Amino acid sequence: MICTIDQAATVKEAAQALFITQPALTNRIREAERRLKTHLFIRKGRKLIITSAGKRLLDSAQKILEELERAEYDISLLAEGIEQVLRIGTPHYASFKWLPFAINTFNEALPNIELEVTANTTHEPMAALLRGDIDIAMISSPKKRLTLDEACSASFILQDELLACLSSKHKNASKHYLEAEEFSDEVYITNSTVPEKDREYELFFKPKKILPRKVLQVGFNEAIIELVKANMGLTIMSERLIEAYLFNNEIKTVKLGKSGLKIYWHLVYLKQNKMIKPVKLLTQILQERADLVQ
């Protein structure tokens, strides 16, 4: 009820969506407010405006409904012979070239376990793992061995490298490496303006106390690539992500610093017996076909 009211334009619209009459909806609201001893909504004309208490209840209601949807989906799979669903969360800078091969190979070996990649944990996969929203987090780190919460374990997949990506027409396209200072007068194109742990801001810009002149946020990797091609700015991507876009020589990659900037990909999961076998298999699949990962 509270989720429907929040989304509806009027009380009448909310009642219709809930398949009840307006008086019935009003009575439900009054009963909820009586039990909680506070107002959840304030009426303004035909619209119900949610209060602070209502917002708190709405937050929990949305989480409960999401969990119910997941439960219904999982149960429908159980009816089809699927005994376990493993939800994988990936960061927003990941590609999915590896996904078809991984799913096909995984299903052949463990047909009763379903792999599912979620779309709503792209900015904080580790937080989503600890909340229970996903079962496996695919993350990158500057270290081959991770220091984790005691409830988690990690499985190393492979080594990668962060690279500057710029138009072949850019003045620095022919350089062997770039220092952080050379970004200070550039337009930097990125997926997120929020500095992220273990990525370019923390590993490359922050140690030198350097920031690009302008940061342009674009929500899609393909859009970033098109802007870089047009020489409207430059970006930093992992080697395994950018290599798919290098076929026509419109984009050049340059190392970050003289020694380069290595990163390492891992699968992180909660320490549960049911996770050991599928994670071991998925790790083996991704290691064997490292050319597909990210």
Whether residues 170 and 237 fall in one domain? yes
pLDDT at 70: 78
Whether residues 133 and 274 fall in one domain? yes
Q: Rounded distance, CA 122 to CA 171, Å? A: 33
Whether 177 maps to a domain, the answer reads yes
Q: Given 27, 56, 78, which residue is the final one in a domain? A: 78
Whether residues 98 and 24 fall in one domain? no
Q: What is the CATH number of the domain that holds 111?
A: 3.40.190.10
Whether residues 188 and 227 fall in one domain? yes
Whether 269 maps to a domain, the answer reads yes
DSSP code for 54 = H
Domain holding 140, by residue range, is 83-158+265-288
Whether 293 maps to a domain, the answer reads no
Whether 33 maps to a domain, the answer reads yes
Whether 18 maps to a domain, the answer reads yes
Chain mean position to CA 285: 22
Chain mean position to CA 16: 35
Whether residues 148 and 277 fall in one domain? yes
Run of H or E including 127: helix 125-131
| CA quadruple 76, 77, 83, 84: dihedral, nearest 10 | -110
Whether residues 134 and 269 fall in one domain? yes
Whether residues 180 and 254 fall in one domain? yes
Whether 294 maps to a domain, the answer reads no
Count of the separate structural domains present in the chain: 3
pLDDT at 177: 96
Tally Cβ neighbours within 10 Å of residue 153.
18
Residue owning tokens 């799979």: 77
Cβ atoms of 251 and 167 within 8 Å: the answer is yes
Give first-to-last CA distance, the chain, whole Å.
Answer: 42
Q: Given 78, 104, 129, which residue is the final one in a domain? A: 78
pLDDT at 293: 46
Instruction: Select from 211, 205, 214 the least CA-distant residue to 187.
Output: 214
Whether 29 maps to a domain, the answer reads yes
pLDDT at 147: 85
Query: Which pTM does this prediction carry?
Result: 0.68
The letter for the amino acid at 253 is T
Whether 250 maps to a domain, the answer reads yes
pLDDT at 75: 78
Q: Given 61, 78, 95, which residue is the final one in a domain? A: 78
Whether residues 13 and 41 fall in one domain? yes
Whether residues 69 and 48 fall in one domain? yes
Sign of the alpha-carbon torsion through 272, 85, 140, 266: positive
Whether residues 7 and 146 fall in one domain? no
pLDDT at 11: 86
pLDDT at 81: 62
Whether residues 22 and 163 fall in one domain? no
Cβ atoms of 233 and 209 within 8 Å: the answer is no
| DSSP alpha helix (H) spans, the chain | 2-7, 11-17, 22-36, 52-79, 99-109, 125-131, 200, 221-229, 239-242, 273-288
Whether residues 191 and 126 fall in one domain? no
pLDDT at 84: 79
Q: What is the CATH number of the domain that holds 34?
A: 1.10.10.10
> Along the 294 residues of the chain, how does pLDDT read in single tens digits?
999 998 888 888 999 999 999 899 989 999 999 999 999 998 888 788 899 999 999 999 998 998 888 788 777 766 666 677 888 988 877 777 888 888 899 989 988 888 888 876 667 788 888 888 899 999 889 999 888 888 899 999 989 999 999 999 999 999 999 999 999 999 999 987 777 778 899 999 999 999 899 999 987 889 999 999 999 999 999 998 898 888 889 999 999 999 999 999 999 999 988 888 999 999 999 888 765 444
